[in-house]
C-alpha cells in the first residue's frame, strides 16, 4: 500500500536556503520515491492568523508556489494546491472543532507563547490572541486528516500539532466511526537535516533570527551579499583553519558531494582564506540554485501558468476531499432527510448489545449500572465519591468480565449470575 506524505508551508514570507535544504528539497526527493503519494500545499488560511497584509499574503503564496515548482516539484505526480482552494478544509475544521477539548488547545505552544509574551509585557493574557490563533491546531488537523496522511514532515516546533491532530482524529473515529476508522492517524516525521542548516551567525537559519540566506529572492547578488556576512573566525589567508563547526562549511556540505566536502575541508586546513572560501561557497550553491532561479523568475513572470497548475491541483485534491467530506457529514448526522438507512442499521446493532450507563445522582455521588441488550437492569453499583472510581470499575468489568465480580465488588446483582456473565462476555467479544 502506498504511504501518504503531506506538508504545508504558511504563506507569510519568502523562503530561504534553510527552508529549501530542510523541507523542500527532501520533500521533493521523497515525492519521487515509488509507493509515496505526496500532498504539498500553500497554507494560506494559516497565514491569515499571523498576517493582516493582503498583498503580502498574496505575494507570498505566489512566490512559495513558484519556489516548489522551480525546485523541481512535479505537479503531475503529486497533489499540489492552495489550502484556500479547498472549501472542504474549513468545513472539516468545524466538524473537528466540535470534538476538540478547549483544555487541550490551552496547552498549544503557539498559544501559550502568545500568552506568555502578553503577560511579560504587562498586558491581559489573551490580549494578542485571536480565535484563529487559538484554534490553529484544529485547522492544521483538518489539513492532515482530510487526506488521511500517514506521515507529516515538519520542524520540531510542529510536533505538538501533529499529536493534536492524532488525538482529534482518534476522538472523531471513536465517536462517529461506528467501529471503523474514518481517519488515518498521522505521524510527525522530523528529519535531523531539517533543523540542520545554520544561518549567518551559526544559529539555526530562521527569519526570526534575521540570519537567513535568501533562496531566490534578490538573485545571485543577494546570495553573494548574504554569504559575505557569514560569521567566521578571524584567521588570515595562509593560516590553517579548523573547518569543523564553521557555519560556512556546514552550508557548503548541504550543496556538495562527499568528495567536494573533503576537498573544501582540506583547502581550509591548508590555509584557504575565508574570502576565497566564500566565493567557492557561492559557486557551489549557485550550481544547484542558479538554474532553478531562472525557472522561478519565469513562473513569477507568468502568474497565469502558476494559476492553471494550482487550479488543476485543487481539482485533484477536491476529488478526494468532496466524497470524503460527504462520508464525514453523514457520520456526524448531517444527512438528507431521505437517508436514514445507515444510522438505522447501526442503531439496531448497537441496541443488540448490553450497555453500561454512568451517571450522577442528586446526592452528588457517582453510579453506574449494567443494562441488558433488551434494557433490563442487570447490575447496580453503589455510590462512589469520585466519578473516576466508578469509571474504573466499569472498565474493569468490561475488560475482565464476570471474573471481576468478586464478592466484595461494589455492585448489587439484579439478575441471575448467568445473565450477568453473558452480558459481560459481550464486551470482551467486542474488544
Ligand atoms: N503550521 C505549519 C507551519 O507553520 C504549516 C502547516 C499548516 C502544516 N498546515 C499543515 C504543516 C499541515 C504540515 C501539515 O510550519
Q: What is the DSSP string of 289-339?
A: HHHHHHHHHHHHH-HHHHHHHHHHHHHHHHHHHHHHHHHHHHHHT---TT-
139 burial (CB, 10 Å; 0-12 / 13-18 / 19+) is: buried
- The whole-number pLDDT of residue 208 equals 83
Right CATH number for 207-301 from 1.10.240.10, 3.40.630.30, 3.30.420.130, 3.40.190.10?
1.10.240.10
Whether 343 shows a pLDDT value over 60: the answer reads: no
Q: Mean pLDDT, the chain, as a whole number?
A: 93
pLDDT at 247 over 90: yes
Task: Give the nearest ligand 1 atom to 83 CA.
Answer: 9
**Helix, strand, or coil (residue 349):** helix
CATH topology of domain 336-430: PH-domain like (2.30.29)
- Ligand 1 centroid to residue 337 C-alpha, Å: 37
Taking 70 as the threshold, does the pLDDT of residue 345 lie above it? no
Q: 64 — phi, psi (to 5°)?
A: -70, -40
Report whether pLDDT(430) > 70.
no
Among 40, 158, 160, residue to substitute to test ligand 1 (most atoms within 8 Å of Cβ)? 158
Tell how far the Cα of 162 is from the centroid of ligand 1, in angstroms.
Answer: 9
Question: Which DSSP state fits 422?
Answer: H
Report the C-alpha gap between 89 and 140 in whole angstroms: 9
| pLDDT level of residue 426 (50, 70, 90 thresholds) | confident
> Looking at the domain 3-196, which fold is it?
Rossmann fold (3.40.50)
Centre of ligand 1 from the C-alpha of residue 144, in Å: 9
pLDDT at 95: 98
Map grid coordinates 491581559 to a residue.
124
Q: How many angstroms separate the CA atoms of 387 and 273, rounded? A: 72
**Of residues 139 and 418, which shows the higher confidence score?**
139
Residues 172-193 have a mean pLDDT of: 91
For residue 350, the model assigns a pLDDT of: 57
Contacts of 114 (CB under 8 A, 6+ apart): 128, 129, 133
Could you give the angle at the alpha carbon of 47 between the alpha carbons of 133 and 322, nearest 5°?
A: 95
Known binding residues for L-tryptophan are: 143
Whole-number pLDDT of residue 194: 56
Residue 190 in grid coordinates:
522530523
CB 227 within 8 A of CB 278: yes
Burial of 121 from C-beta contacts in 10 A (0-12 / 13-18 / 19+): exposed
- Residue range 68-105, pLDDT digits in tens: 999 999 999 999 999 999 999 999 999 999 999 999 99
Going by alpha carbons, the residue nearest to atom 15 of ligand 1 is 9
Residue extents of the structural domains in the chain: 3-196, 207-301, 336-430
Annotated binding residues for ATP: 10-12, 18-19, 155-157, 197, 204-208
Of 115-124, 127-136, 221-230, 341-350, which gets the smallest average pLDDT? 341-350
Helix (H) or strand (E) holding 104: helix 102-106
**Per-residue pLDDT reduced to its tens digit, 197-207:** 999 999 989 88
Q: Measured in angstroms, how far is the CA atom of residue 137 from the centroid of ligand 1?
A: 9
Supply the DSSP symbol for 21.
Answer: I
Q: Check residue 344 and give its pLDDT.
A: 46
Query: Cβ distance 296 to 67 under 8 Å?
Result: yes
Predicted confidence band of residue 179 (pLDDT cuts 50, 70, 90): confident
pLDDT digits (tens, 9 = 90+) for 403-414: 888 888 999 999
Ligand 1 mean position, distance from CA 34 (Å): 24
Q: Hunting for cell 452528588 — which residue is that?
A: 364
Looking at the chain, the number of H-run helices and the number of E-run strands are 18, 9
Residue with cell 484544529: 138
**Once rounded to an integer, what is the mean pLDDT over residues 241-253?**
95
Binding positions: 10-12, 18-19, 143, 155-157, 197, 204-208
The pLDDT value recorded for residue 394 is 94
Atom of ligand 1 nearest to the CA of 157: 15
* Contact residues of ligand 1, CB 6 A cut-off: 6-8, 10, 43, 46, 140, 143-144, 152, 154, 158
Q: For the ranges 137-146, 165-174, 186-195, 389-398, which has the lowest average pLDDT?
A: 186-195
The 10s digit of each residue's pLDDT in 35-51 is 999 999 999 999 999 88
CA distance 353 to 346: 11
- Check pLDDT > 90 for residue 267: yes
| Ligand 1 atom nearest 9 alpha carbon | 5
The C-alpha cell that represents 385 in the structure block: 465519591
Nearest atom, ligand 1, residue 153 CA: 13
Q: If you compute the radius of gyration of the chain from its CA atoms, what whole number of angstroms results?
A: 29
Residue 427 pLDDT greater than 90, yes or no: no
Amino acid at each position: 500500500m502506498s504511504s501518504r506524505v503531506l506538508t504545508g508551508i504558511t504563506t507569510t514570507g519568502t523562503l530561504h536556503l534553510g527552508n529549501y535544504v530542510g523541507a523542500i528539497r527532501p520533500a521533493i526527493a521523497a515525492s519521487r520515491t515509488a509507493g509515496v503519494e505526496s500532498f504539498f500545499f500553500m497554507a494560506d488560511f494559516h497565514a491569515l492568523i499571523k498576517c493582516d497584509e493582503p498583498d503580502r499574503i498574496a505575494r507570498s503564496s505566489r512566490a512559495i508556489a513558484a519556489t516548489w515548482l522551480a525546485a523541481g516539484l512535479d505537479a503531475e505526480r503529486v497533489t499540489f494546491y492552495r489550502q484556500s482552494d479547498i472549501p472542504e478544509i474549513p468545513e472539516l475544521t468545524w466538524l473537528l472543532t466540535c470534538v476538540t477539548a478547549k483544555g487541550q488547545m490551552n496547552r498549544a505552544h503557539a498559544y501559550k507563547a502568545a500568552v506568555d509574551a502578553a503577560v511579560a509585557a504587562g498586558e491581559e493574557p489573551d490580549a494578542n490572541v485571536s480565535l484563529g490563533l487559538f484554534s490553529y491546531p484544529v485547522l492544521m488537523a483538518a489539513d492532515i486528516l482530510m487526506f488521511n496522511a500517514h506521515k507529516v514532515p515538519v520542524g520540531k516546533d510542529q510536533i505538538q500539532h501533529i499529536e493534536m491532530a492524532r488525538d482529534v482524529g482518534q476522538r472523531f473515529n471513536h465517536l462517529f466511526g461506528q467501529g471503523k476508522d474514518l481517519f488515518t492517524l498521522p505521524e510527525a516525521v522530523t528529519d535531523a537535516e531539517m533543523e540542520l542548516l545554520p544561518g549567518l551567525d551559526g544559529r539555526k537559519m530562521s527569519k526570526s533570527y534575521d540570519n537567513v540566506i535568501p533562496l531566490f529572492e534578490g538573485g545571485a547578488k543577494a546570495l553573494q551579499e548574504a554569504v559575505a556576512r557569514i560569521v567566521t573566525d578571524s584567521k588570515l589567508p595562509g593560516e590553517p583553519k579548523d573547518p569543523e563547526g564553521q557555519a560556512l562549511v556546514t552550508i557548503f556540505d548541504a550543496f556538495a558531494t562527499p568528495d567536494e566536502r573533503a576537498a573544501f575541508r582540506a583547502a581550509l586546513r591548508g590555509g584557504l582564506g575565508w574570502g576565497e572560501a566564500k566565493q567557492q561557497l557561492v559557486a557551489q550553491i549557485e550550481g544547484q540554485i542558479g538554474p532553478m532561479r531562472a525557472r522561478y523568475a519565469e513562473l513569477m513572470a507568468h502568474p497565469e501558468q502558476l494559476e492553471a497548475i494550482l487550479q488543476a491541483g485543487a481539482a485533484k485534491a477536491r476529488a478526494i476531499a468532496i466524497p470524503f467530506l460527504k462520508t464525514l457529514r453523514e457520520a456526524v448526522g448531517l444527512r438528507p432527510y431521505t437517508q436514514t438507512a445507515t444510522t438505522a442499521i447501526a442503531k439496531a446493532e448497537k441496541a443488540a448489545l448490553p450497555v453500561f450507563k454512568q451517571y450522577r445522582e442528586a446526592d452528588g455521588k457517582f453510579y453506574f449500572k449494567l443494562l441488558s441488550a433488551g434494557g433490563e437492569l442487570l447490575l447496580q453499583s453503589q455510590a462512589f465519591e469520585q466519578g473516576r472510581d466508578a469509571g474504573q470499575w466499569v472498565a474493569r468489568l468490561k475488560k475482565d468480565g464476570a471474573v471481576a465480580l468478586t464478592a466484595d465488588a461494589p455492585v448489587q446483582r439484579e439478575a441471575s449470575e448467568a445473565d450477568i456473565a453473558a452480558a459481560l462476555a459481550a464486551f470482551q467479544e467486542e474488544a
